[in-house]
């Protein structure tokens, strides 16, 4: 790819919108995952009895197990949300950029 084409793409308003939206969305998703994960880890570190509490009186399964599974499920859900948006809005903007560059 030559520098002229690169500069043309960078100057495209749709490209700037794509980069802005994608970066903003990725940062929000990352922060959400980090907050959930580090809350779990900090709870283990500073209050292990909280997650070590049995689900019921005679159960060997602690409350930490379903919470840990929920964190994994949350990560899958975030991945699905990102994929859905990437395949919809982000791909549409990407195609719009390609079309604009072809027309020039």
d(CA 72, CA 50): 19
Instruction: Give a yes or no: residue 77 inside a domain.
Output: yes
pLDDT computed for residue 1 by the predictor: 62
- The pTM of this model reads 0.82
pLDDT by residue (tens digit) across 2-58?
888 888 889 889 999 999 999 999 999 999 999 999 999 999 999 999 999 999 888
pLDDT by residue (tens digit) across 60-93?
999 999 999 999 999 999 999 999 999 999 999 9
Number of domains in the chain: 1
Total residues found in the chain within this entry? 104
Instruction: Give a yes or no: residue 5 inside a domain.
Output: no
pLDDT computed for residue 52 by the predictor: 92
d(CA 53, CA 64): 8
Instruction: Give a yes or no: residue 22 inside a domain.
Output: yes
Which residue range forms the structural domain that includes residue 90? 15-103
Instruction: Give a yes or no: residue 85 inside a domain.
Output: yes
Instruction: Give a yes or no: residue 6 inside a domain.
Output: no
Instruction: Give a yes or no: residue 33 inside a domain.
Output: yes
Instruction: Give a yes or no: residue 1 inside a domain.
Output: no
Instruction: Give a yes or no: residue 49 inside a domain.
Output: yes
């Amino acid at each position: 790819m030559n520098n002229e084409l690169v500069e043309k793409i960078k100057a495209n308003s749709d490209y700037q919108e794509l980069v802005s939206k994608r970066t903003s969305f990725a940062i929000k998703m990352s922060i959400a995952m980090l907050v959930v994960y580090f809350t779990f880890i900090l709870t283990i570190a500073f209050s292990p009895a909280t997650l070590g509490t049995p689900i019921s009186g005679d159960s060997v399964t602690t409350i930490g197990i379903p919470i840990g599974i929920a964190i994994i499920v949350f990560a899958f859900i975030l991945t699905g949300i990102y994929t859905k948006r990437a395949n919809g809005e982000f791909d549409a903007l990407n195609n719009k950029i390609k079309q604009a560059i072809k027309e020039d």
